[in-house]
Amino acid sequence: MKYMTTAEIREKYLRFFEEKGCKRMPSSSLIPDDPSLLLTSAGMVQFKPYFLHVKEFDPSYIGATTVQKCVRTNDIDIIGTTGRHLSFFEMLGNFSFGAYFKDEMCAWAYEFATEVLELPKDRLYFTVFENDDETIEIWKKLGVEEDHISRLGEDDNFWRAGPTGPCGPCSEIYFDQGPDFGCGSPDCAPGCDCDRFLEFWNCVFTQYDGQEDGTLAPLPTKNIDTGMGLERMAAIMQGVQSNYETDVMRDLIAVGERLSGKSYKADAADDLSLRIVADHSRSVSFMIADGILPSNEGRGYVLRRLLRRAVMHGHKLGIEGAFLSNYVDAVVRLMGDVYPEIVDNRELVERVILSEEERFGVTLRQGQAYLADALSKLDGTLLDGATAFTLHDTYGFPVEITEEICADAGISVDKEGFASCMEEQRERARAATKDDAEAAWSTYGGVHDELLKELGATGFVGYDRLTASAEVRAIIKDGVRVDALAAGEEGEVILGLTPFYAEMGGEVGDMGTIEAEGLKLEVLDTKAPAKGLVCHVVKAVEGSVHTGDTVRAIVDELRRKRITRNHTCTHLLHAALRRVLGDHVKQAGSYVGPDRLRFDFTHFEGMTAEQIAEVERVTNDAIMQALPMAIYETSLEAARESGVTALFGEKYGDTVRVVEAGEFSRELCGGCHVANTAEIGFVKIVSESSVGANLRRIEAVTSFDALAYANKVESELKETAAALKATMFDVAERTAANLQLIKEFEAERKQAKKAAAEGSVAEHIKDMVDVGYPLVIARIDGLDSGALRNAWDVLRSRMPEPGACVIGTVNNDKPVIMAAATDEAVAAGFDAGAVIKAIAGNIKGGGGGKPVMAQAGGKDAAGMDAALDAARALLIKA
């Protein structure tokens, strides 16, 4: 067979189907536009709407062809243990939405396999769904021998993306790797678990829409969805035994070899780790590039689990420190030309990996020790849930990793116990953060959903108008539908159409009034608890409102104006941040209120003062250029082509709203904006802070609020200047000079204190007696610990002939006694430790030391004189 690189196979496939009339389309994101899926796991995911015909495919083509990046993690723990499983893989596919079906598909599959890839016909095997005679006939007509075709049941030959949605019977093509790969069983055939027959192409005849009750409804057209695992195909074409030995994967394994100094195929345990890290490094790189960040939930958790599993195996290989980002280079080099997002987001990928690795690295070894200890004490073969929870909560071990390590020792983990510890923790968190208002609001879910079904989405007219006449369609009070609200009552009002913007995408809801003759409702907030249903949260201040009333809805114009200034400003800030810090900056959340704005974004370190100033300057520059805003609707595809900034992981419909500020910023957004950036006036950034791993937050104010902020800063500064008796612009200099003065005074004060202390110590030379050596016993109050230590040096230097001393001091009510001596005095019989021991009882203290130096602190200052008298009695009278 002809050797082909992975890149050659990919290109030949796409070109083949392009030539048949399919449109070559890019891989979709790993974050599927489909709430039923966590991650994109097949090529057909992006085409679901076309199978269902809720959307029509471009009629100038017969279908689509793609290479789709996929992540499948239902079997993470076996990845690496077999040659066939990868967590990240590329799937080649072609898709028809009613244009071509079985006849064409089978013929083209056969043509591609035998003429383009030149696979030997006698090594190809075909399976069909149990009763699919039609497909058997098609394969036979193409020249396939009858004994190369077999029927398989639902498990193998009926394909579904999930419990519901487009699905259908399928026919699969297998390559016979030869009996050496087989299990040797006489029944060995396609579908057998062994490695002999390798399934490389799944052709699904997508005819049904799986319903929730399990029944199959026919789809409007008969469709095709095929998937060929690129790595598997590469293994066949390259004559290697596993996906990991194909060109691309082998290059990734080589990175691990280089980092660890180990060689692939030298040791089974090392091979497993090398494979796992190679595979997981690709998955995590692509996941991060598509906007997934490590977390404890959903896809973020899958990412964290893969990343941490890779780190563990790196350590098993003996690689020290953070290493995983080293793989990114190879991923970019090997795959960047097909998936530009990995090139564009390279820095983000490297930094997210590094920071997650560092987080985990800190606790990894401690966690391993904790687990080893727990396992050594374990009685039986079940690790308790609480230990697994501590490993998760304190040491960052995903429970599946704990399970894997335990499995190596033949021990299982009490998953239920673990789950209940998790639930308890969640409960605690919920109880701690529950906002009563939010909670009450969420319990209204049912009534809102019903109203949305009944009334449909509320027409929003508030982009251009701030007042509108409308009919009251429904009223809710305390979560229940009512016919009226009387004066003084609070509730929610739903209108036929409204100029009020409901809180969404970070922008707060509008306030204002709803009025009619003799009626006034104050709108306190506007929300959309069911998507598209606008609820005005109101208080009736005058008259009562009834369903069916015609009213005038009037948005508080000034407040809205302030909100729009802040909203447009977040777009400008976003663009400015990307210009100043780099393209890894992505919006992660925002709050747009009338008085301030908050913008959260991905970045890895605190911004410097210069960067903050530069972002502010660039944003103000865009404001002062008075850029006209252009806001229009277009197709998602057209918007993407124009390079629009779409939000990280956000879902968009087919028609999107583009908000442009001149050439400076172009974002998809449904919010309210100014008509020209000049309306923003100016912006002041008031803070920059961290709000989580790799997440920063900027808070800012615009227009009159920025002015108010600047005025406040100015008035504080003026007050400070007045207090300093300086001008406003000398404050910094004067303050620095004052600080310098304070420092000098402080030094002088210390010096004077020291001199005074020394002076008062020196005075006691007059008390010196000769007891065979010169001895000073004195009480000198007010010595701090430094001065007391110094006292002996002072005495020693001023005594005509140094001997020994016992000094007591009371400083801030605390009594301390110190005794010290020269070696000569010690030789003559003085023992500082013994003296202190003998007299410390008088000050209710204890302490001791050596013959040359000892000290004791006490609790009773009143006993100081008695203590010193006791010393005299001991030393002088003796």
Closest CA to 560 of 625, 629, 656, 464: 464
Long-range CB pairs of 643-650 (<8 Å, 24+ gap) are 644/668, 645/574, 645/575, 645/578, 647/586, 647/587, 648/291, 648/586, 648/587, 648/588, 648/602, 649/31, 649/290, 649/291, 649/292
Least Å distance, CB 42 to ligand SER, is 3
Using CA atoms, how far apart are residues 317 and 58, in angstroms rounded to an integer? Answer: 51
**Token pair listed for 518:** 């003799």
Using CA atoms, how far apart are residues 136 and 128, in angstroms rounded to an integer? Answer: 7
Question: Any idea how long the chain is?
Answer: 878
Cross-strand pairs, 683: 702
3-state secondary structure string across 142-202? CCCCHHHEEEECHHHHEEECCCCEEEEEEEEEEEECCHHHCCCCCCCCCCCCCCCEEEEEE
CB closer to ligand SER, 169 vs 499 = 169
CB closer to ligand SER, 93 vs 851 = 93
Least Å distance, CB 306 to ligand SER, is 20
Least Å distance, CB 222 to ligand SER, is 15
CB closer to ligand SER, 202 vs 564 = 202
CB closer to ligand SER, 227 vs 367 = 227
Least Å distance, CB 204 to ligand SER, is 5
Least Å distance, CB 279 to ligand SER, is 18
Find out whether 30 and 342 touch, Cβ atoms under 8 Å. Answer: no
Closest CA to 631 of 660, 605, 656, 606: 660
Q: Which residues of 292-319 are buried (b: 16+ CB within 10 A; e: fewer)?
A: bbbeeeebebbbbbbbbbbbbbbbbbeb
CB closer to ligand SER, 230 vs 388 = 230
Using CA atoms, how far apart are residues 152 and 154, in angstroms rounded to an integer? Answer: 7
Find out whether 249 and 233 touch, Cβ atoms under 8 Å. Answer: no
Q: What is the CA radius of gyration of the chain?
A: 39
Using CA atoms, how far apart are residues 303 and 285, in angstroms rounded to an integer? Answer: 9
Find out whether 788 and 816 touch, Cβ atoms under 8 Å. Answer: yes
CB closer to ligand SER, 86 vs 204 = 204
CB closer to ligand SER, 92 vs 310 = 92
Q: What is the DSSP string of 746-800?
A: HHHHHHHHHHHHHHHHHGGGGG-EESSSEEEEEE-TT--HHHHHHHHHHHHHHSS
How far the first Cα of the chain sits from its last, in Å, is 111
Least Å distance, CB 111 to ligand SER, is 18
CB closer to ligand SER, 225 vs 492 = 225
Find out whether 63 and 257 touch, Cβ atoms under 8 Å. Answer: no
> What 8-state DSSP symbol labels residue 45?
G
CB closer to ligand SER, 199 vs 758 = 199
Residues found near ligand SER in the complex (CB under 6 A)? 42-44, 93, 159, 202, 204, 225-227
CB closer to ligand SER, 109 vs 868 = 109
Pairing of strands 22-24, 63-71: parallel
Least Å distance, CB 41 to ligand SER, is 7
- Token look-up 């006036």 returns 681
Q: CB neighbours of 756 closer than 8 A, spacing ≥ 6?
A: none
**Token pair listed for 643:** 């390079």
Least Å distance, CB 341 to ligand SER, is 22
User: If phi over 0 gives left and psi between -120 and 50 gives alpha, with beta otherwise, what is residue 474?
Assistant: beta
Least Å distance, CB 456 to ligand SER, is 35
Angle at 72 between CA 71 and CA 76, to 5 degrees: 120
CB closer to ligand SER, 225 vs 515 = 225
Find out whether 826 and 851 touch, Cβ atoms under 8 Å. Answer: yes
CB closer to ligand SER, 227 vs 256 = 227
Least Å distance, CB 165 to ligand SER, is 11
Least Å distance, CB 229 to ligand SER, is 8
CB closer to ligand SER, 204 vs 791 = 204
Least Å distance, CB 46 to ligand SER, is 12
CB closer to ligand SER, 210 vs 845 = 210
Least Å distance, CB 70 to ligand SER, is 8
CB closer to ligand SER, 44 vs 658 = 44
Least Å distance, CB 126 to ligand SER, is 15
Residue nearest to ligand SER (CB): 227
Least Å distance, CB 81 to ligand SER, is 22
Residue 617 carries which side chain, given as an amino acid letter? Answer: R
Closest CA to 201 of 236, 167, 244: 236
